[in-house]
Amino acid sequence: MNIILPILSFLCGVMLTETASGSSEEGKPSPGVVQELWFGIPGASVKDLTHRKIFETAAPDVRTISHLDVENQGDRYGARYSALLKVPASGKYRLYLSSDDSAELWLGKDATQKDMACIATVKGYSDIHNWGNQPNQASEPVQLEADRFYFLQVIHKEDGGPDHMSVAWSGPGIPAPVIIPATALFIPPGILPEEKKQSPAKAD
Ligand SMILES: [Ca+2]
């Protein structure tokens, strides 16, 4: 793959990329994660976002970031993170979620959202980058193939106080959980607002 790495800059603890489009010039997905934010929503449960009508409307704040690893974004917000996951080697992987407040981690069977399953949760909150505060923070082992993309999504709800959300993995050659590197995360075609007006492109 011939991918031009985006210019990275730090802002409020979040690495922002300069990527403006979900697809590179070759039609391959660009590196990154799409972050959609809805501010002004109370509650510490994921349902406090997903059960509201506003969740069915376009997020007023959409950003492109490099990792599923964010903190200190404010209070009373809900967030949805979308990316295509591509593993470096085929094999069994576990994914891990930590967050404050609650979050859900969903994984698809391919590059689409149609067969996503919730594979890890945090209820209430966990410590930052602590993958073992609660029993459901780690997924069961899942077989992932190196030549495929898998749709990955996190729904995160913050009420007040500290806030963070991170996703790690372990698998072939990765014995202990580490934050999923930027090289494994790509922007799903058709997710960014400027692309939603066009017909969706194929992911692979
Ligand atoms: Ca909090």
Q: How far is the CA of 89 from the centre of ligand 1 (A)?
A: 35
- Residue 200's pLDDT is what? 52
Residues lining ion ligand 1 (Cβ < 5 A) are 100-101, 161, 163
* 134 phi and psi angles, rounded to 5 deg: -130, 150
Q: How far apart are CA 53 and CA 66, in angstroms?
A: 29
The first and second tokens of residue 104, run together, are 């859900």
Query: What does the angle CA 62 – CA 170 – CA 172 come to, to the nearest 5 degrees?
Result: 120
- Residue 8's pLDDT is what? 33
- Residue 196's pLDDT is what? 73
Q: How far is the CA of 112 from the centre of ligand 1 (A)?
A: 31
What are the residue ranges spanned by the domains of the chain? Answer: 14-189
- Tell me the CATH class for 14-189: mainly beta
- Residue 198's pLDDT is what? 59
Q: How far is the CA of 39 from the centre of ligand 1 (A)?
A: 14
- Residue 28's pLDDT is what? 84
Q: How far apart are CA 118 and CA 60, in angstroms?
A: 25
Q: How far is the CA of 188 from the centre of ligand 1 (A)?
A: 28
- Residue 17's pLDDT is what? 37
- Residue 9's pLDDT is what? 32
- Residue 10's pLDDT is what? 34
Q: How far is the CA of 129 from the centre of ligand 1 (A)?
A: 14
- Residue 26's pLDDT is what? 59
Mean pLDDT per 10-residue interval, the chain, length 204 residues: 38 36 66 97 97 94 97 98 98 98 98 96 98 97 97 98 98 98 96 73 52
